[in-house]
Structure 1
């Protein structure tokens, strides 16, 4: 399943975030596949799309950076997945 990962940090933590990222390369934990990651210009915030089958691996990702960054991890749908869900929703409404 795909997930949207968003993070934001405080300016006071910038040096620590830079140091950790440069040391680790921002690697994700085992069981999480990084599909893409984007960083905002100026400021500690960004977004990544990851894939994982087990939410425990997502918890490991959050915990690895949780002391420096506020993170949110949300399930993500492709246009095709959303279209299928919306079609199912519409069909159920028409049966009522």
Structure 2
């Protein structure tokens, strides 16, 4: 399953977050494939697209950064998957 992970650096922790990212690059743990990550040039935010079947690994990744960043995580579907769902819905 694919997940969008939106992140927002806490203003007081922004520089510490940048330092940690510069040192580690924030890799995903085993069991998660990071499909991409995008950072806003302003606003202290960005998002990651990740794929996993392991909710515990996803939680562990977020918890590793929770002292500096707030997160919103939600599952997403690609167009073809979404089309299957809505097509089935309207056939009922």
Instruction: Say whether the 8 Å CA contact 1:11–1:43 is kept in structure 2.
Output: no
Bigger radius of gyration among the two: 1
| Partner residue in 2 for 1:52 | 52
| Partner residue in 2 for 1:41 | 41
Secondary structure at the residue paired with 1:65? coil
Instruction: Say whether the 8 Å CA contact 1:8–1:45 is kept in structure 2.
Output: yes
Secondary structure at the residue paired with 2:64? helix
User: Which ranges of structure 2 fall in alignment gaps of 5 or more residues?
Assistant: none
User: Which ranges of structure 1 fall in alignment gaps of 5 or more residues?
Assistant: none
Q: What stretches of structure 1 move > 4 A for 4+ residues in a row?
A: none
TM-score normalised by L of structure 1: 0.91
**Matched residues, number:** 92
TM-score normalised by L of structure 2: 0.95
